[in-house]
Structure 1
């Protein structure tokens, strides 16, 4: 609920427990609204209502819908890259790739709203995060693709295109978050798709990577 406490001025870091709580409430509410409605369909009124704040109070914390969306994307990018960062060049190649598949599938299970937020941004042409995609994300993917290429050249896994291998992992794991409604409708009520998805993807990539 809106507690009537005066929020801090915009562009300053929250200084009180109430201000920190309200900022987090806004971001959590915005994640729900943006993941459901998309950026264009979401409104500040929707976010304020979901956060339990008045619209004027929300605007003390964030100057616009764009500012809230940008903050969410900034938080998300770091989280999104963590599973790929964990790919260890010193590890066993096939197991490292399978572990990456598992981490991405777990993210789809545990963070479906974040996945849909990211997917919506990409579908729109990434107007608010292209710099991060062309910078931090591309740099990391280039680095890990080089690691995979090294494993291939050493004869440790099958000869596959490293970039398209990574793309396929993104597609096959994020599908379970971005198309959750479709997956559950096809499988039937009460069916948890993730244990079977993990087994299937492990089998698929084990066969693909086997020399």
Structure 2
């Protein structure tokens, strides 16, 4: 495939264009919003009577994690067909920059939210990437949205958190802090494979 000057210019500019700018602004707004929200909110449970305390970061980090995977859909397939080697991995650098930028800003602005926000953002972004790779990026929201909603609304029974409801854990332990980046990295590795 021949590469004209216009296609080469678009390939160089895709780094800062498209979804990256608006998502960077959403990361800043999300971390700033966490500053004024309580760390946990009571959520009524569907399967058991009563309420469970769910981290407020679930409301902000889940949609943000789903939105961050949209940067993998850029640039257009025609421009992306020219990319080889390290340029394919540059798309993943944008995902990592947005994720780490949000978490760094959360650590500075709202440190009480950092643990749950880390687990939720990284794992939901990883789930969205894998779902997007399997079903297509337009349907990438399905698995993380259903997982987060089910964890918040049905994850607690008799004041104990179900094993699958770890996004709703208000105090994530060290194993969840290791699991979340592994999910994101696994999603990024799976995404590089051809369908």
Q: Which of the pair is proportionally richer in strand?
A: 2
Q: Which has the higher contact order (CA 8 A, sep 6+)?
A: 2
The TM-score with structure 2 as length reference comes to: 0.44
Larger Rg: 1
Q: Which of the pair is proportionally richer in helix?
A: 1
